[in-house]
Structure 1
């Protein structure tokens, strides 16, 4: 969870139009993310006295924190039974995802909170998790069978939403990474197209097994079997889709896709329960490892550029990764030490005396 406290933002300040808003005032995206994280943990139940004290300190530290928290309460408070005890949230969270999504979005629209719901949908992984049909939490890999027979494997902190019709099977990757092994139902025109949509475009399967990873502003695709076609959302008119065959991978932005390259272990190792590190910077590795745990994971700039290689286990399907155990192993390979200031706040810094 991020802890940066911004200066207040004016509603008319340049460049704030895309920021989330609460109480009519633009809120820094990091504050919105932190508020949603606290809100999810609070309503999930099991909040200890110490965690409540930390939440109170965060809430009282800045007016924007309190405003963001109040905004979340105003959106979700209309749901029957949703109260500080968290019972209503747990009931909603445990309901079938599509039903929960319809209830939550329907109530938000009904109370005139569409703007607030849009903020959460666009800005917070927590909201994307609630809005998803299938999801995984920090450190989890989960496997599902979709209604058409496709096998879906989700990596850590991942979420997808389905839109299946009589003519197309469309899956929206809301966040994280997924491995698809497609099924082949028949429609009126033959095999129904299977399309995975991301923020940068979409991937059409051609009878295949492939992975898709949603990054910030970038999508990665790797094909294990068969082939796919990659379509960048804002490619120039007349641009042909990029075909990837088994053993190939690419990355694409909204305007273009990069030429195919050989799919490496790093793209697919997660599906086998591994983090594959090949001469990787420490800060890049910790950014990925941070997806496997809750809380704030920081690296001292003095050691951020250290490089290393290795393979780290992240658990079996439907199991829980022990990211803290991986953190504890780092001093065996690098001149660093790991400091747990709290359960949620970890810093990797230079080892003393080296």
Structure 2
């Protein structure tokens, strides 16, 4: 009898949670209670108890990445992808999961990726420099007639190379789920917003041709050219208005985050990208304003100084669950 998808993921989430160093007797007891709520819960748990042996049969492309991601912080992107991967591999079989969840497959099969708070810079074969911001995954294709960078998740900074080994140089295409971006001798940043809402492009040198997925190859009547000092947002069927860059855009490549009269809830949402776990802003203080330049190397240190600048208190239930709320 097939398993309900929701119950399968719940079972995997419990299983992953109990592998953590933070697993307490109370958590183990809660898992037992969950198993007792319904016979299907217990059936799913018994099935997943053999996960260790089953995971040995998962393809190499998934195995190591899943094993590392499974122990990441609760509510993190890595954790969610790991749960999807394990549930699919254990309850559906790898082939069925590949067909049912291609987004998770792309993430796990990325050529390069970063975790929370991690940044990497790559020198590609064509001379392009590619910087990956926190929680980012990319696929690379430099062997064909077109140089390709597919942004699966997160944010990148691209400084285009000359492609000296090819005459004429091959086109460089950056793609996301929303469309394509083709630079003309440029330095630019591309970011996919959380949960795939849209794609933003910020141009620091040169220009970038931005084409929505829906019109690519069909006259591209909605494409726009974004020039140095400008930015725009891209959805699958439209390119938004071209606007000037904001103060501090691109500073993450130097390990800096710049806030200019930013709402506190927006500020904390940005910081949460660089920190494992859940960083919550109480609605009562969400509209407070933050300005300043902050080093991204230690997010907890930034949180530690907030009560000295604003009427807020920072409360940590665990190291993975932190709330910023009103003082007193």
1:314-353 maps to which residues of 2 (within 5 A)? 314=296, 321-352=297-328
TM-score where L is the length of structure 1: 0.71
1:139 maps onto 2:101 in alignment: no
2:6 aligned residue: 27
Equivalent residue for 2:169, pick from 191, 214, 218: 191
Unaligned 5+ segments in structure 1 are 1-22, 83-87, 95-103, 315-320
2:73 aligned residue: none
CA spacing shift, 1:230–1:140, aligned 2, 3 Å? same
> Deviation string for 1:101-150 (max 9, x for gaps)?
xxx99x969x843333455553x6xx655321111111111111122221
Q: Distance in 2 between matches of 1:198 and 1:133?
A: 15
1:3 aligned residue: none
> Deviation string for 1:236-278 (max 9, x for gaps)?
9531521112111111111111122111234312122111112
Is the Cα–Cα contact under 8 Å of residues 137 and 151 in structure 2 kept in the other structure? Answer: yes
Is the Cα–Cα contact under 8 Å of residues 155 and 189 in structure 2 kept in the other structure? Answer: yes
Is the Cα–Cα contact under 8 Å of residues 32 and 68 in structure 1 kept in the other structure? Answer: no
2:72 aligned residue: none
1:129-168 maps to which residues of 2 (within 5 A)? 129-168=107-146
> Deviation string for 1:189-229 (max 9, x for gaps)?
62111111112111112121110011131111011111111
Is the Cα–Cα contact under 8 Å of residues 215 and 222 in structure 2 kept in the other structure? Answer: no
1:299 aligned residue: 281
Q: Distance in 1 between matches of 2:282 and 2:27?
A: 25
Aligned-residue Cα RMSD (Å) equals: 3.9
1:113 aligned residue: 94
Q: Distance in 1 between matches of 2:199 and 2:99?
A: 22
1:229 aligned residue: 209
Q: Distance in 1 between matches of 2:17 and 2:140?
A: 23
Is the Cα–Cα contact under 8 Å of residues 302 and 349 in structure 1 kept in the other structure? Answer: yes
1:62-81 maps to which residues of 2 (within 5 A)? 62=34, 77-80=53-56
Name the count of aligned residue pairs.
299
1:248 maps onto 2:230 in alignment: yes
Unaligned 5+ segments in structure 2 are 70-84
205-214 or 67-76, larger mean C-alpha shift: 67-76
CA spacing shift, 1:32–1:114, aligned 2, 3 Å? same
TM-score where L is the length of structure 2: 0.76
